[in-house]
Structure 1
Amino acid sequence: MKWTDVQEIAVQLTDAYPDADPAKVNFVDLMNWVMALPEFDDDPKHCGERILEGIQQAWIDELA
């Protein structure tokens, strides 16, 4: 899974952190949580604020 797999990352974050409120997760924690996902395999240098915003929004949408 790569940074661009925003929807799949959101699904896995929902499973991995069921009690987390994605709207309140800061981007440093979000980046670390994504990199800790078992299927994630991408370079941290490929991540930026725009990607993290997309992941956060997809995670919020996943819970809606």
Structure 2
Amino acid sequence: MRWTDVYDIAAGLEELHPEADVVNLRFTDLHKWVLALPGFADHPDRSNEKILEAIQAAWIEERA
């Protein structure tokens, strides 16, 4: 997985963190959780606020 795989990341995060308050999640926590996902293999510095927002939105959609 890479930073651009927002839907795969969202599904993985939902599986590992089903109790998370996704709407009020800090991006620092989101960044850390993405890096810890099994199968994630991208450079930590390649993320930015726009990517993290897209992951958060996909995660919210995943829960709907």
* TM-score with structure 1 setting the length: 0.97
Q: Could you say which residue in structure 1 is the equivalent of 2:24?
A: 24
- Which whole-Å CA distance do the structure 2 matches of 1:14 and 1:21 have between them? 11
How many residues are matched?
Answer: 64
Query: What is the letter of the counterpart of residue 26 of structure 2?
Result: N
Relative to its length, the structure with more helix (as a share) is: 1
Q: What is the root-mean-square deviation of aligned Cα atoms in Å?
A: 0.5
User: Post-superposition shift, 1:5?
Assistant: 0.2
Structure 1: distance between partners of 2:36 and 2:24: 19
Q: Which amino acid aligns with 1:45?
A: D
Matched with 1:34 is 34
CA offset at residue 41 of structure 1?
0.6
Q: Secondary structure at the match of 1:7?
A: helix
Deviation at 1:24, TM superposition (A): 1.2
TM-score by length of 2: 0.97
| Residue type at the aligned position of 1:43 | H
